[in-house]
Amino acid sequence: MIARAPLRRSAPSGLAHNLLLSHHALLAFLSKSWGNRMRFASFRLASCVVATAALLLVANAPAQAQTRAETLRYVTGASVNTLDPNIPGSTRESFALSMSTYDRLVAFGRKQLNGKWVFDLDKITGELAESYDVSPDGLKLTFRLRKDAKFQDGSPVTAEDVKWSLDRCVTAPILGKAQLLTGSLTSADQFKVIDPVTIEVTLPKPDKLALPNLATVYPMIINSKVAKEHATTDDPWATAWLKEHAAGSGAYVVETFKPGEQVILKRSEDWNRGSPDKPAFFKRVIVQSVPEPATRANLVERGDADLVLDLQASDVQSLEAKGKLKVVSTPQYNAITFVSMNNQIPPFDNVNVRRAIAFALPYDDMFKAALFGRGSPLFGATWPDGKPLTGIYPFQAPVKIDLDKAREYLKAAGLPEGFSTTFSFNVGQASTAEPMAALVKESLAKIGIKVDIQKLPDAQMSTQINEKKLPLFTEGIVAWLPSTDYFYRNFYTGNQRWNYSSINNPELAAIAQEARFEPDKAKYEEDGRKLNAIHFSEMPQIPLWQPNQDAVMASSIEGYTYEFHRQVDYRDVSRK
């Protein structure tokens, strides 16, 4: 139940009354003269509507409810489509929601990056686990559960529940399977119940990403007793039921769930996994889908919404300039926007053609036109000795627009006259990609490359990428666990969808694989530098920038943190 605002019913003013009366008179007149047969019920409805129109002119905006300060209203262009983020096709908003409705064994800490709070991959704290140990050889992780942890139905969280949930994640045909694979978690045999509050995870290799993987969205801990009641023989892991129902121990209870419209959450008073052992701040959270970005901007500016992430860059800029709202711009340090070439399709199979493109892009203009400069550039670095400055990926590359150099590379590739190609982007990214595409076309024309711009519907674009049919396009990637080897293994190796550039470089693949299990930090850094050097010399794709995530919020909102899933974690925020 939602408490309603104490009502503000002002009597209609004289003007409204007159309007009302005159409309009624008109309608009465019309219906009388049209004879009995034309007297439809709809006339009554019509008079209601007309009366409403008149009254609207004098009615005032609703006074806010008492509970308004304790409510977080978050508006977004996307929507929540499932309560279980493991379901194929679930949206990013669903990921974020599940962070608040379910707990995991562990969670990421947070750190400050240029004065902004961001998640910290290297600091892992207990969530349902009171504490955890990693054995010296790195092959055994032992978690001790909090004794006071309860599911939202009041039953205690046991090691059995944890085992069932993790088993589900690696066995059921759901999204968690592919994610946990990246942390060497592949089989139910790896999870062992020691006693009701202790669970042990064994690893085949000392995988650095095993622990962080347990803090991601998918391995959430489900109330196994409740879920099992709703399991069927066809669906032993209750995926159908969990899609519509939440059975977790998280900070918020789902009160109403309307897919595609809104979700309303109620605080779970028992939950104490927040930093100072208190429940979450907001008593109620409303997650509402508002498809039109201009409307979202209006809502937050008027103070009707508290927080929004996906505004247009131009709106963010003007709101920031007005200074009424708080704008937290965090470079998405686990995301990259790039221009990719298909390294298997001529002429892009020639490294000199790829280099020519890299030196023919108008980086600064693109950065300004697409993002209004809101992000961290990955171009324009200077490498004094021609070697990468860091072993961290993504890195800033020494590329800038240099048309003479580009022409030389084209000549070296045997294509001094240039060629024709297409440049594709998807409709969903049009607001940033469209101005970019025009600049790419203009600039490449100067070195003789004729570009046709293709704007593709999202589903079509992903299909073409999957089938490796696009020669030149722009896309963005994100890694939940942004370590160098993770990026290289997932996005630059193998004949698979996420290898956008279709690069096939055995040396790169070997180093990335080796780095995965490299325990020594210095050696890992060295591997990273090697990988970055190969990336730059092969130029499979051209990283452009890391766009900022602009969180625009009421000035009273505090604690906003940029999370790995790039959405709001409602547990982070509070009101001053």
Partner 1 sequence: MSAASDIRKRKELLELMTGLGATMVRAGRRLLSSLPALFGVLVFTFLLMRVLPGDPAVFFASGPNAGKEEIEQIRKQMGLNKSVPEQLVFYLSDIGHGNLGRSMMTGQPVLKDLRERLPASLELTFTALLIALVAAVPLGVLAALRPGSLVDHGVRMFCALGVCVPTFVSGLLLIYVFYYLLGFAPDPTGRIDVFTSLPPQRTGFLSIDFLLAGDIDGWWAACKQLILPAVSMALFVIAPLARITRASMLVSLGSDFVRTARSVGLSWRKVVVTYALRNAILPVITIAGIVFSTMLGANVLVEKVFSWPGVASYALDALLSSDYAPVQGFVLLMASVFVLVNLIVDICYGIADPRVSIE
What are the φ and ψ backbone dihedral angles of 176, each rounded to 5 degrees?
-60, -30
Q: How far is the CB of 219 from partner 1 (least distance, A)?
A: 13
191 forms beta bridges with: 201
Stretch that binds partner 1, among 78-86, 114-122, 126-134, 543-551 (CB under 8 A): 78-86
Taking the C-alpha atoms of residue 402 and residue 398, their distance in angstroms, rounded to an integer, is 11
When binding is defined by CB under 8 A, the residue of 15, 21, 30, 445 that contacts partner 1 is 30
Using CB under 8 A as the binding rule, whether residue 152 contacts partner 1 is answered as no
56 part of the interface to partner 1, by CB under 8 A: yes
Chosen residue from 16, 59, 193, 403 binding partner 1 by CB under 8 A? 59
Among residues 25, 45, 69, 445, the one that binds partner 1 under rule CB under 8 A: 45
| 19 scored as a contact of partner 1 (CB under 8 A) | no
Helix axis angle, 363-371 to 430-445, nearest 10°: 160
Quick check: 146 binds partner 1 (CB under 8 A)?
no
Q: Tell me which long-range contacts 315-318 makes (C-beta under 8 A, separation of at least 24).
A: 316/374, 316/550, 316/552, 317/372, 317/374
Q: Does 44 participate in binding partner 1 (rule CB under 8 A)?
A: no
Please state, as a whole number, how many other Cβ atoms lie within 10 Å of the Cβ of residue 324.
Answer: 12
Q: Does 576 bind partner 1 (CB under 8 A)?
A: no
As a whole number of angstroms, the distance between CA 491 and CA 500 comes to 7
Q: Least distance from C-beta 87 to partner 1, angstroms?
A: 7
Q: Which of 75, 159, 185, 399 binds partner 1 (CB under 8 A)?
A: 75
Q: Residues 41, 61, 321, 522: which binds partner 1 (CB under 8 A)?
A: 61
| 14, 41, 88, 323: which one binds partner 1 (CB under 8 A) | 88
Helices (H) and strands (E) in the chain, counts: 18, 20
Question: d(Cα 106, Cα 324) in Å, to the nearest integer?
Answer: 37
Q: What is the C-alpha to C-alpha distance for residues 199 and 158, in angstroms, rounded to an integer? A: 9
> Is position 13 an interface residue for partner 1 (rule: CB under 8 A)?
no
Residue 392: CB atoms within 10 A of its CB come to 16
In whole angstroms, how close is the CB of 555 to partner 1 at the nearest point?
18
What gap in Å lies between CA 76 and CA 97, rounded to an integer?
12
Residue 89's region, left for phi above 0, alpha for psi from -120 to 50, else beta, is: left
Of residues 257 through 276, those in contact with partner 1 by CB under 8 A are 258-262, 264
49 scored as a contact of partner 1 (CB under 8 A): yes
Site for partner 1 in 437-466 (CB under 8 A): 457-463, 466
Binding status of residue 555 toward partner 1 by CB under 8 A: no
**Closest to partner 1 by CB, 141 or 465:** 465
Question: Site residues for partner 1, window 350-409 (CB under 8 A)?
Answer: none
Question: Counting contacts by CB under 8 A, is residue 195 touching partner 1?
Answer: no
